[in-house]
A = this chain, B = another copy of it.
Amino acid sequence: MKSRKDIDKKLEELGKLLYKEIKEGKNPYLDVPIRSLSNVHFNPKTKLIELGDATSKRYFFNVAHIRKFVQTLEVAALAKELLNVDKHLSLRQVFYAMRKTLPGTKIDIVDEQTESNQAVEDLELITGASREELHINANKNGAAAGKIIIKDKGDIIDWSKLGSGGWAIPSNTEGIEFQKVDAKFVIYMEKAAMWERLHEDRVWEKLKCVIIASQGQATRGIRRLLRRLNDEHGLPVYVLTDFDPYGWYIYSVLKFGSIALAHISRKLAIPEAKFLGLTAEDIKKYKLEKQKIKFKEVDLKRLSQIKEYDWFKEDKRWQRQFKLMKEMKGKVELDALITRGISFVSEKYLPEKIKNKDWID
């Protein structure tokens, strides 16, 4: 993570550059990387969905550019203020903070949140700082438990001593310091109910690990947390989802990044993430065929989309899963393993899968 001082300096440099151009009688502009699909690609070397090099110049004296130009500067000014007072706002709150009338006019700087959101993303690209480093937070969700002690806002927090609830993961996990990491790996799961089941069985103690869940897609805060544990402490990240196109999409985003956030894949995505969720082979092995939930039209459509993703297209193991799911015409939830016993996931499924390296990576 870049320091507050570094980011502040970057914002100041941006301001000084524009000021210089104005003083020299030039038409000031911003060089903004293009975020449209044409500039997004999958990089087979890094295994990440990345933004290309294409940029476009956004001029102040250009009727088509000026609105976005002003919005980007307004969010830069706001970010500088947030850094100076060391406070954070959510995207929604940033929208309100920017929703004001230009002095001497009847024009509001932003009318819709999509405008302020885009300005934030542009500023991320221009400065190379993430939204979180600019003190603008995304959603808060999720909980963590396990063999890790962190320091956050001056508090020492032991993730193994937080009762049945665990530690609530903040929207912004940049500032967290890992004080002691006794865990050998991290399990991320898409459902809080499964997290509670595993937590009650103290899986993190028995397998010496950390368990993290949100609800569905992982928040940016969770993605950074997983990425940092992988980067800074070399912990493998196992992703536990249903046998389901949506579960696979959650895994896909965690591992390869997403098109919408391609500009930040290098900070958020975890190319080493491993899929530990249900496979077609597990369904057979654990006799879960009866627990199948029949596909709707929308599931089939989702499956055929995922099958064509660049990062899955050449992967035989994944193509095999897609093919077998198509034949089954249905999905199976992880919770279905409850039919094998209340603690089956904790005592059999996870230890065996991990011992046998029975994952897809």
Contacts and interface: CB of A to CB of B under 8 A. Distances in A.
Interface stretch (A37-45, A57-65, A139-147): A139-147
Q: Is the interface of A mostly helix, strand, loop or mixed?
A: mixed
A242 to B, nearest CB: 11
A116 to B, nearest CB: 12
A335 interface: yes
A169 interface: yes
B192 A163 contact: no
For the complex of A and B, the 9 pairs showing the least CB-CB separation, nearest first, are A152-B163, A90-B193, A143-B168, A168-B168, A140-B192, A164-B170, A96-B338, A165-B168, A165-B170
Interface stretch (A194-202, A228-236, A272-280, A316-324): A194-202
A147 B89 CA distance: 24
A165 B152 contact: yes
Interface in A114-154: 137, 139-144, 150-154
A360 interface: no
B96 A335 contact: yes
Interface string A288-317: 001100000000000000000000000000
Interface stretch (A67-75, A80-88, A255-263): A80-88
A210 to B, nearest CB: 14
A97 interface: yes
Given A88-B200, A163-B150, A192 B335 contact: no
